[in-house]
C-alpha cells in the first residue's frame, strides 16, 4: 500500500460570518475574519490517494490524471472565487473555514477517484494554519 | 553600508476592475482576477532598510522597531482588508496590483524610517508573482 | 473528525550533555551538539487538534485561541530561552532533544485543550530533523 | 512512542518507459516523462523512525547515525544517478516512479535500522508530487 | 520604476562533460556531475521585468502574458528535456551549467519582452545553488 | 557578467548585550535577545560571486569549491558555536547581530575568492529577518 499526494493551489476570498448573529457577536467571535468586505488567501490543497502501484506503469494513480480531476472538480470552482458566494458545493449556511472546506472537498472529489482510494484532503490556508480530513465520521 | 530586511505578512481580498471599461473588456484583460465577488491572497511584505550598523547595538535599525512601524503603518490597514474598498492610502482609481501596491507601501512607510534609509519594498502575492520598488522615479 | 493544525515558532539555545559522563564520552556521543558554550535553533512547532467542526462557527477549535494557548503555555517559556537552564517544565536530567521536547510540550499543552482533543505535537529543529508525538505510551 | 524524521536530498535522472510497449503507447501513457533522452528531479527523502527516546541521550536514534545510514544505503546509490540504469536495487522491469521508489528505499534501509523501527519513507519528487510508504503490504 | 517577477518551473536532465577532455579530467573537474548516464534537477526560473505600471491596468506587464511568453519560449523547450541533447538554443559545445543557462535564457526571452524591459534571469538549480544574469557584458 | 550563489547553513547561539550598559538598559534595548543564558538560530548563508563563466567548464567558480571555501573559512567556526564567545573573527566588543555578521563574514571570505569576485553576503537569521552586505563602505 503506497500513498501518493498531488498538490494544487488556488486563491480565494471569504469571510466568517453567522447571519443569525449580531455584528458584535460576529466580530467578537471571528475578529478581523468577519470583515464585511472580505479578505482572502492563497490556498494549497494536498490530495492523497492510497493503493498498490500498477505493476506496469508504477502508478497508484497517474499524477497527471489526478491533477486534472482536482482541477475540474475543485480548483475550477474555488480559484479566484468568493467561498461564501460563488461555489455550488459550499452550503450557504456553512462557514468556509479550513475545517469545513476539507470535508466539502472530500465529498466533491471522492466519487471521481477510481484508481486507488481517496485517503486524505489537506488544505493549507496560511503558513500557520491547515486542516486535514481522512473521511472519518 | 548594510541592508537589513524585515518580513511581515497579511491576508487580503481584491479584484482588478477598471470602472470605465465594460464587463467584457475587464474580463478580457484581467481574466479571473476580475471576478466581481473578489478573490484574495496571503501577501508577504519584505521591507529593506540600508545604513551603517550602530557601533554599540549592531543595528542598522532595530528589527523589532521596524516590525512595529510596518505593522502600524501598513499591516494594520491591509490585513484582512479589501484592497479596493477598505484602505485609505490606496486611491480608488488605482488597480491594487502588486506593482501599484509596492509604490503605495513605499510612500506610506518612507516618512517613518528614521534610522537608515528605506531601500526596497518587495511584495510577494503568490509563489509565482512578486514586485519590487526601490524608490526610483 | 477533522484535524486542525496551528504553527508557532520560537528561537532557543541548548546543548546535549550527560552530566554523569566524561567530556570525551559526551563529545564522542553528541559531537558538536556538546559544545559547552551552547548552540541554538529556530524551532517550528506544529500543534494538531482533532474534533468535529462546530456547526455554527465551523471551528474544531478557534485557531486564534489555540495560538494563544500555545503562546501562553509553551512559547512564552521556550522563546529566546536556554532549554537546559531556563524552562521549568524541562527536567534538568533530560536532554533537550527534539524527541524529548515533543513529549514535554504535549504534557504542557494537553490540559489546556478543551475543545477537540490534542492529536499531535510536531517540532521541527532544522530543515533536516523533526520529531512527532501522538500521546502514545 | 516518538517519531523522528531525518531528511536527505539527491538529484537524479529517470524516464518512464515500458519496454514491451510501442513508443506511441509510452508517450500516450507517460507524456513528457517518456522522453527518451531522460529528465530529472531534485528529490527530498524523509525517513521516519519510531521508538522510545533513550533515557540518557534523549535519542530514538541518533539523527547523525541515521543520516549516515541513509547516505550509505540510499543516497550514495541515487545521487547524480540515472534511476533506470545505474542503481543495483531498482529492478530493470520496474518504473522508477515515486511510488515504486519509496517501497524500494524501504527495503534497502529497513535491515539497517537497529534502534527504533522504520516507520515511513516519504519521497518528494517535485513541489506538487510525493509518495509515502509505511511498510504495509 | 517597478520590477515584476514571474516564476516558472521545469524538470530536466543534464551532465557536465567537456568532450575534448579525458574521462579522468572530466570526473576530476565535475565529480558526480559528469556521470555519463545523466542526472537531473527541478529548476525554478525567475524572470524579472522592469517598467512603469500602466495607469489603467496597474501592470508593468500582465503576469499571465509574461507567463505565456516564458512557457512558449523557454519552458516548452527545457521541461522534461535533456539540456545537453534536446534544446535548440543551447549550443552543443557549452556546458549546461546554471551560469550558462541564465545567459541563454536571457537571449531567448529578451526579444519577446515588449512591455517594460527584461531586467534579470535567475535560475535556481537546487536549494543550494542559483545563478543570476542582468544582461551585463 | 553572471552571479552565482551558494547557500550553506549553520546553527549557533548568541545574545545581544552591551557590557558597558546596565542590565535594565540591555533588556530595554534588546528585549528577549538579551537573555543571559543565550538563545540561538538556524542561519542560512548565501554567498554570491560574480564573474564570467569559464568557456570550457561553464563555471564562474566551481560551486563545490565555493562550498568548501565557505565551510573551511566560515561554517567551521560558526556551526554549533556561541557567536559571542567562540569565534576568533568576531570581535568581543561587537554585537553578533545579522548586520555585523555579514560584514565579518565578507572579510573572512573575501581573500579566499580567487575566481570571480565576491559580490554579496546574505545571512538569514529567521524567516522574518535577514541582512545583506555588498562590500560597500
**Mean pLDDT of all residues in A87-99:** 97
Is the CB of F35 less than 8 angstroms away from the CB of C80? yes
Q: Select the residue of E13, E32, E33 nearest D38 (Cβ to Cβ).
A: E13
Q: What is the pLDDT of residue F116?
A: 97
Helix (H, G, I), strand (E, B) or coil at B45: strand
Q: Do the beta carbons of residue F39 and residue C82 sit within 8 Å?
A: yes
- Which of A67, D96, D47 is closest to E13 using CA atoms? D96
CA distance D130 to D122: 7
C125 in catalytic set:
yes
Q: Hey, what's the torsion of the CAs at C8, C14, C20, C21, to 10 degrees?
A: 120
The pLDDT of residue F82 is above 90: yes
Q: What is the DSSP string of A37-72?
A: T-EEEEEEEEEEEEEPPPTTT--SS-HHHHHHHHII
Listed by number, the residues of chain D in 97-116 with a beta carbon closer than 8 Å to a beta carbon of chain E are: none
Give ipTM to 2 decimals. 0.96
**Which of the residues E97, E119, E134 would you substitute to probe the F interface, choosing the one with the greatest number of F C-beta atoms within 10 Å?**
E97
Closest to D84 in 3D by CA, of D27, D132, D12, D25:
D12
Contact check, Cβ <8 Å, B35/A81 = yes
Q: Taking residues D80-101, what's their average pLDDT?
A: 97
Q: Which H or E element spans position F25?
A: helix F23-30
Where helices occur in C7-131 by DSSP H, the ranges are 23-30, 63-70, 76-78, 98-109
The percentage of chain D sitting over the pLDDT mark of 90, rounded to a whole number, equals 99
Cβ-proximal residues to A87 (8 Å cutoff; 6+ apart), any chain: A77, A78, A81
> Tell me, what's the pLDDT at B89?
98
Cell numbers describing residue F9 = 547553513
Handedness of CA B21, B23, B24, B30 (dihedral sign): positive
- pLDDT band of residue A88 (cuts 50, 70, 90) is very high
First to last CA, chain A: 23
Among partner residues F29, F98, F128, which is closest to B57 by beta-carbon distance?
F29
Mean pLDDT of C62-80: 98
pLDDT tens digits, one per residue of E22-80? 999 999 999 999 999 999 999 999 999 999 999 999 999 999 999 999 999 999 999 99
E132 vs E127: CA distance, rounded Å:
15
Interface residue F137 vs chain B (CB under 8 A): yes
Q: What are A119-129's pLDDT values in tens digits?
A: 999 999 999 99
Task: Give F7-19 pLDDT, tens digit per residue.
Answer: 999 999 999 999 9
- Asked whether the predicted pLDDT for residue D133 surpasses 90, the reply is yes
Distances (CA, A) of A83 to A10, A92, B82, C79, D136: 11, 9, 15, 36, 38
Q: What's residue A94's pLDDT?
A: 96
Q: Specify the pLDDT at position E99.
A: 98
Residues of A in contact with C59 (CB under 8 A): 95, 97, 99
pLDDT, tens only, A15-38:
999 999 999 999 999 999 999 999
CA distance linking residue E95 with residue E109, whole number of Å: 20
Phi, psi of C44 (to 5 degrees): -115, 125
Note whether D40 contacts E: Cβ–Cβ < 8 A: yes
> Given a cut of 90, is residue B137 above it in pLDDT?
no
Cell output for C62: 478557534
pLDDT for C137: 84
Predicted confidence at residue D137, as pLDDT, reads: 84
pLDDT tops 90 at residue F136: yes
Question: Which positions in chain D touch C96 (Cβ < 8 Å)?
Answer: 58
Provide, as residue numbers in chain F, all residues whose Cβ is less than 8 Å from the Cβ of C32: 79-80
> D97: which chain A residues are within 8 Å (Cβ-Cβ)?
53, 57-59
Compute the nearest-CA separation of B114 from chain E (Å): 24
Cβ neighbour number for residue F30 with a 10 Å cutoff: 23
Please report the pLDDT score of residue F137 as a whole number.
84
Cα gap B105→B95, rounded to integer Å: 14
Q: Say which of F14, F24, F33, F132 is annotated catalytic.
A: F33
Q: What distance in Å separates the CA atoms of residue B132 and residue C136, rounded to the nearest whole number?
A: 49
Q: From D45, D11, D66, select the one nearest D122 (Cα to Cα).
A: D45
Q: Do at least 3 CB pairs under 8 Å connect C with B?
A: no
Mean pLDDT of chain A, nearest integer? 98
- Catalytic residue check, A80: yes
E137 pLDDT higher than 90 = no
Confidence of residue C115 (pLDDT cuts 50, 70, 90): very high
Mean pLDDT of all residues in B70-74: 98
3-state percent breakdown (helix, strand, coil) of chain A, nearest 5? 30, 30, 35
pLDDT for the residue numbered D48: 98
Question: Which subunits sit against A, judged by 3+ Cβ pairs under 8 A?
Answer: B, C, D
The C-alpha cell 530543515 sits at C127
High-pLDDT (> 70) share of chain D, %: 100
CA pair distance B119, B51, nearest whole angstrom: 9
Per-residue model confidence (pLDDT) at position A18: 97
Please say if E33 is a catalytic residue. Answer: yes
The Cα–Cα gap between D93 and D106 comes to: 18
Is F1 in the E-facing interface, judged by CB distances under 8 Å? Answer: yes
Residue A137 banded pLDDT, cuts 50, 70, 90: confident
Give the residue-averaged pLDDT of A78-85: 98
**pLDDT of res. F134:** 98
Average pLDDT over residues C3-24: 98
Bridge-partner residues for C43, per DSSP? C10
How far apart are alpha carbons C123 and C97 in whole angstroms?
Answer: 10
Amino acid at each position: 500500500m503506497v500513498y501518493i499526494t498531488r498538490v494544487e493551489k488556488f486563491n480565494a476570498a471569504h469571510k466568517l460570518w453567522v447571519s443569525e448573529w449580531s455584528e458584535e457577536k460576529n466580530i467578537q467571535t471571528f475578529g478581523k475574519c468577519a470583515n464585511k468586505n472580505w479578505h482572502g488567501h492563497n490556498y494549497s490543497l494536498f490530495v492523497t490517494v492510497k493503493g498498490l502501484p500498477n505493476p506496469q506503469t508504477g502508478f497508484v494513480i497517474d499524477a497527471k490524471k489526478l491533477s486534472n480531476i482536482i482541477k475540474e472538480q475543485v480548483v475550477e470552482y474555488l480559484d479566484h472565487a468568493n467561498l461564501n458566494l460563488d461555489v455550488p458545493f459550499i452550503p450557504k449556511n456553512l462557514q468556509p473555514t479550513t475545517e469545513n472546506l476539507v470535508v466539502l472537498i472530500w465529498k466533491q472529489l471522492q466519487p471521481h477517484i477510481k484508481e486507488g482510494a481517496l485517503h486524505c484532503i489537506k488544505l493549507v490556508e496560511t503558513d500557520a494554519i491547515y486542516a486535514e480530513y481522512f473521511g472519518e465520521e
